[in-house]
Amino acid sequence: MQRPGAGLRLLVCDDSAGFRSLIAAWFADDPDFAATETVASAAQVLEALAGAPDVVILDRLLPDADLDRDLAGEIKDALPSCTVVLISGMSAASLAEQASASTADAFASKATTAAELKRIVMGAIGSTRSAPQPRSGTDG
């Protein structure tokens, strides 16, 4: 029996090359993920959506994105079935505040472990896939 997440395409967006590499390495040998791409900016993450990732792990603070910009929302508008996990080095209180204002499916601290981030990602995938998807081009 195939696992529910087998073959998922992951896109990691963070302006820190070291952190991008770390997250990619955490998922590299995970059988649920078939491919991992990394990018460093808001502009690059939007361009990379052409590859139709299933999951985007998105840094909350990117140099080319305003703080009030809902980049997660832009990703969801372009790919409604894509799961977006917002990740940040902010304090837990700040992350909770940002979470309430974002359209991301889940949130994680950069101080997380590989196992915890994978748990958060897989949980978000499950909730995204079980939620009704909007129908395009119809009014009801």
pLDDT tens track for 100-118: 677 889 989 899 999 999 9
Per-residue pLDDT at 23 exceeds 60: yes
**Residue 2 covered by a domain:** no
Signed CA dihedral, 56, 101, 40, 116: sign only: negative
Per-residue pLDDT at 99 exceeds 70: no
**Residue 13 covered by a domain:** yes
- CATH for 116: 3.40.50.2300
Domain that residue 49 falls in = 8-130
| Residues recorded for the chain | 140
Helices 17-28 and 114-130 cross at an angle (nearest 10°) of 70
Which burial class, exposed, middle or buried, applies to 93 when counting CB atoms under 10 A from its CB (0-12, 13-18, 19+)? exposed
**Residue 3 covered by a domain:** no
**Residue 22 covered by a domain:** yes
pLDDT, tens digit (0-9, with 9 covering 90-100), for 5-17: 568 999 999 999 9
Determine the pLDDT at residue 102. Answer: 77
* Type and span of the H or E element at 95: helix 92-100
The Cα–Cα gap between 73 and 84 comes to 9
Q: Domain total for the chain? A: 1
**Residue 82 covered by a domain:** yes
Q: What percent of the chain has pLDDT over 70?
A: 79
**Residue 136 covered by a domain:** no
Judge contact between 97 and 33, C-beta under 8 A.
no
Predicted structure pTM score: 0.82
Determine the pLDDT at residue 64. Answer: 79
Query: In the predicted model, what is the mean pLDDT of the chain?
Result: 83
From the centroid of its chain, how far is CA 56? 3
**Residue 135 covered by a domain:** no
**Residue 24 covered by a domain:** yes
- Find the mean pLDDT for residues 128-135: 45
The Cα–Cα gap between 123 and 94 comes to 22
